[in-house]
Structure 1
Amino acid sequence: MSPSTPAARSPGPTQVLSISPIVLPAPGRAVDLQVRVSAPVTGGELPVLLLSHGHGPSNHLSSLNGYAPLANYFAAHGFVVIQPTHLDSKTLPFRSSDHPDAPLFWRARAEDMKRILDRFDAIERAVPAIAGRVDRSKVAVLGHSMGGHTASVLLGARHKDPRDGTDVSLAEPRIRAGVLLAAPGRGDALSAYAAEHYSFFSTIDFSTMTTPALVVAGDKDGSPHLTTAGAAWHADPYFLSPGPKSLVTLFDAGHGLGGVSGYDVAETTDENPERVAAVQLLAAAYLRTRLYPGDPAWQEAQHALTGAAVPLGRVESK
């Protein structure tokens, strides 16, 4: 792969470098923002992937140290992957704080991603190995669970502020495409617990989520602590948003989608390496084709999913 070749057009894996923590000063934030940067050792014109972790019960998956199956795969396949530690991370002491956006910090999560893009010069200085190798016009976002919600608002979904009812838009025009993995759905299907503790979910409006996105949902992801609608709830960001969108429904998949949050983690109730490989392939292929129109990766990945002797899932698009 030559330095002038867009890495996202090359499907073969390559060696990866990973550097953390990189500390970005964040005036007004409870603590400075720490990020991990993972990137291929070679290649140029590299697209950027902002990876948003979930909330979750584990100590370190909800931080820049989690989601290695996704971060490593995307970096090995030509993306500069940037993982922030959001304020709801269990590695930080703010989940039980009296901040009005605690415990999930939905607003601060999106602001973290905007800050990363605003401070990209500082990131390149901190990681000289990627300096001059990044195509900042090609930015995508991917998030799992609560990270999927973060991706949805960056792609244009809106809320009403639970404090005063004002509309809140956190859309980021520099982000050109996204992937939502097991993301929250519509607000009128919340469980009693979610309605009480995560009231901001109740006003989510996907009709303004206009940026192209892939939604991935498991058909066994009931998430009863969050919703009364069952597994179909996680497909709402697809059905309730305008196109262009695609939906992958993974058969027999739970909330962990086979184990995307980490290698061999206890909270994955549906551990399945083959399923994780499918998520890796589909998400990377979707973003590659969205960022590089004409690239056949997405079409090929769909065929690999649905054309197998025992299909792992189904795909629909609009």
Structure 2
Amino acid sequence: MNFTETANAPSTVISAMPLVLPTAPGRGADLQVRVSAPATGDDLPVIVFSHGFGWSMNGYAPLADFWAAHGFVVVQPTHLDSRTLALPAEDPRTPRIWRFRIEDLTCVLDGLDALEAAVPGLAGRLDRDRVAVAGHSWGAQTASTLLGARVLDSHGVPGEDLSDPRVKAGVLLALTGLGDDLTPFAAEHFPFMKPSFGTMTAPALIVAGDHDRSHLSTRGPDWFTDPYTHSPGRKSLLTLFGAEHSLGGVPGYEVAETTDESPERVAVIQRLTTAFLRSALCPEDPGWEAAAAALEAAPSPLGELRSK
């Protein structure tokens, strides 16, 4: 069975961790990675997932498990801000963690051969021409840079282009908006939270909650729709009704940080993100149109979908 045959037939999932990739000098620790993949199938596309603040490769099982069961190889690095690494706030690497995060994703892409060889039974089954990135919260900001988003400097000039041509599409969950609306605290402590989406041209699905109110912004939940509004190219925006920052519970099963637990909402995200990535990486796949139509036709829709 190849990837195009797995849309409606969930597969048994294998998962391997911790796998270790060497990183560039300055990070101070090798990169720990989890890889989850369907036990069978060939020509498997890859999703590189960036976790939110404090999490690790062991988080986001509701997404990683589902994607892997439906034909994707999911690679989850542990960034330096992870609670599992307990990096002190005064550590000299702290101000640069946002860049280390981006470098972590690039390191994963560079290390796919090593990761593939390290997982029993995975060798020869990856399709390196079909790679996507995904992330939640800070992880979504990290992933967005590989899709073409850039960080503005103090004069409003876009910084270095960190996009990666190997990445063909993305899913950005609860991605923060423009830096014009940061609170004074956020502007002082998180200068990297000043994105420009004008060059984020790669196809992406942005997922936002209409009850997501951030203490980092002076705006309301519409702040999280900026990545859709201000980016060119093929984009879709899934706005989930009643959803807060955890979007119903994507960080994990029954975790304390979920303030709006809703298995039904998570199920919508699972289905829509899977369908979007399948269509973005395999244009002949009809699942996206079907999933969008099903959301709209539901008697009590859990969200609203817009595309451009």
Question: TM-score normalised to the size of structure 2?
Answer: 0.95
User: What corresponds to 2:76 in structure 1?
Assistant: 83
Deviates more, 1:62-71 or 1:191-200: 191-200
What is the correspondence of 1:301-312 to structure 2 with a 5 Å cutoff? 301-312=291-302
Q: Secondary structure at the match of 1:247?
A: strand
Q: Secondary structure at the match of 2:134?
A: strand
User: What corresponds to 2:199 in structure 1?
Assistant: 208
* Letter matched to residue 197 of structure 2: F
Instruction: Tell me how far 1:10 sits from its aligned partner.
Output: 2.6
User: Is 2:58 the partner of 1:73?
Assistant: no
* Letter matched to residue 178 of structure 1: G
% of aligned pairs identical?
57
Instruction: Tell me how far 1:162 sits from its aligned partner.
Output: 6.3
Instruction: Tell me how far 1:294 sits from its aligned partner.
Output: 2.1
> Is the contact between residue 158 and residue 196 of structure 2 (CA under 8 Å) also seen in structure 1?
no
Change over 3 Å in CA distance of 1:266–1:109 after alignment to 2:
same
Instruction: Tell me how far 1:297 sits from its aligned partner.
Output: 0.9
Q: 1 CA distance for matches of 2:43 and 2:237? A: 28
* Letter matched to residue 299 of structure 1: E
What is the correspondence of 1:266-305 to structure 2 with a 5 Å cutoff? 266-305=256-295
Q: Secondary structure at the match of 1:125?
A: helix
User: What corresponds to 1:33 in structure 2?
Assistant: 31
> Is the contact between residue 81 and residue 87 of structure 2 (CA under 8 Å) also seen in structure 1?
yes
Question: TM-score normalised to the size of structure 1?
Answer: 0.92
Q: 2 CA distance for matches of 1:88 and 1:230? A: 26
* Letter matched to residue 93 of structure 1: A
* Letter matched to residue 10 of structure 1: A
Stretches of structure 1 lacking an aligned partner (at least 5 in a row): 57-61
User: What corresponds to 1:159 in structure 2?
Assistant: 151
> Is the contact between residue 48 and residue 138 of structure 1 (CA under 8 Å) also seen in structure 2?
yes
User: What corresponds to 2:130 in structure 1?
Assistant: 138
User: What corresponds to 2:304 in structure 1?
Assistant: 314
Indicate which of 184, 195, 204 corresponds to 1:192.
Answer: 184
Indicate which of 186, 208, 221 corresponds to 1:217.
Answer: 208
User: Is 2:11 the partner of 1:21?
Assistant: no
Change over 3 Å in CA distance of 1:132–1:33 after alignment to 2:
same
User: What corresponds to 1:53 in structure 2?
Assistant: 51
User: What corresponds to 1:59 in structure 2?
Assistant: none
* Letter matched to residue 175 of structure 1: V
Instruction: Tell me how far 1:128 sits from its aligned partner.
Output: 3.2
Instruction: Tell me how far 1:99 sits from its aligned partner.
Output: 3.0
Q: 1 CA distance for matches of 2:9 and 2:217? A: 39
- Which ranges of 4 or more aligned residues in structure 1 deviate by more than 4 Å? none
Q: 2 CA distance for matches of 1:212 and 1:222? A: 26
Q: 1 CA distance for matches of 2:221 and 2:43? A: 38
What is the correspondence of 1:222-301 to structure 2 with a 5 Å cutoff? 222-223=213-214, 225-301=215-291
> Is the contact between residue 150 and residue 158 of structure 2 (CA under 8 Å) also seen in structure 1?
no
Q: Secondary structure at the match of 1:227?
A: coil
Q: Deviations over 1:189-221 (max 9, x none)?
A: 11122111111213x110010111000000000
> Is the contact between residue 133 and residue 167 of structure 2 (CA under 8 Å) also seen in structure 1?
yes
Q: Secondary structure at the match of 1:300?
A: helix
User: Is 2:142 the partner of 1:147?
Assistant: no
Q: Secondary structure at the match of 1:115?
A: helix
Q: 2 CA distance for matches of 1:53 and 1:272? A: 20
Indicate which of 117, 122, 125 corresponds to 1:125.
Answer: 117
Taking only aligned residues, the RMSD between alpha carbons, in angstroms, comes to: 1.8
* Letter matched to residue 138 of structure 1: R
> Is the contact between residue 88 and residue 104 of structure 1 (CA under 8 Å) also seen in structure 2?
no
Stretches of structure 2 lacking an aligned partner (at least 5 in a row): none
Q: 2 CA distance for matches of 1:134 and 1:78? A: 11
Instruction: Tell me how far 1:24 sits from its aligned partner.
Output: 0.6
> Is the contact between residue 225 and residue 237 of structure 2 (CA under 8 Å) also seen in structure 1?
yes
